[in-house]
Structure 1
Amino acid sequence: MTVALEIISPERLLLARPVDMVVIPGTEGDLGILPGHSRLITSLRGGMIDLYENDAVVDRYFVSGGFAEVTEERCTVLADAIMKLAELDAQDAADELARAEADYREVDEADASAYRAASDRLITAQAKVDTLAERS
């Protein structure tokens, strides 16, 4: 039995294929989605989406955030931005983290929307750097 996985970016349907399991980075923690999973909708934080077949990771994508809808047979990821792990560049990630840290330090905490946006960018940038450090 498999889970029908769809990953959709703002530009296009990136992926539609069955997988044995998918692990997604929910805002409350990583979620392993198997066939028969309970229905849920969750927001995503910056992190890795791992696709499993035969108990092994066969593909990895970095998602900057978004949402996922899960049913008993399907997992649909609506990604803010997504790229294959191999497309991440360590220097770009480090530069992005430095910019995000600077923006976060300068944001007006009284502006809840700006504070949330700066915090989200910082979390995503740190997740990219951490992901690349794990890969090394």
Structure 2
Amino acid sequence: MKDLRSFLRSARTIAVLGAHPDPQKPAHYVPAYLKQQGYTLLPVNPVYAGQVLWGRRVAARLEELEEPVDILNIFRRSEALMAHLEEIRALQPKLVWLQSGIRHPAFARALLEVGIPVVEDRCLMVVHRQLLG
């Protein structure tokens, strides 16, 4: 993505695939930070579906989301990513963000082919703090 700083300023809605209720886990405290920065968060995790995180009901699947998504922030192991590819293509987020330690070149390539940019192996909270502090 060319101008990440501008994009993060204009983005409003972040879907969180792999959202977690445990405040000690990155899949909780990274989105909690983003919520504090004013983003709307859409938590997704079939294990916690129906619970409430960050003021929103947790969806079981991406296809349940009913609003446009600027950033899809993914907290899933690299080997699980391809199973979500079709859902992500249908969702059409403006950017897919793979958290620290998560990378999958074939997955990223498949999204780029349909015009969805991907950031791999970076923490959205850390980058947000660096760019928008």
* TM-score, normalised by the number of residues in structure 1: 0.25
**Which structure's CA Rg is the greater one?**
1
More helix by share: 2
* TM-score, normalised by the number of residues in structure 2: 0.25
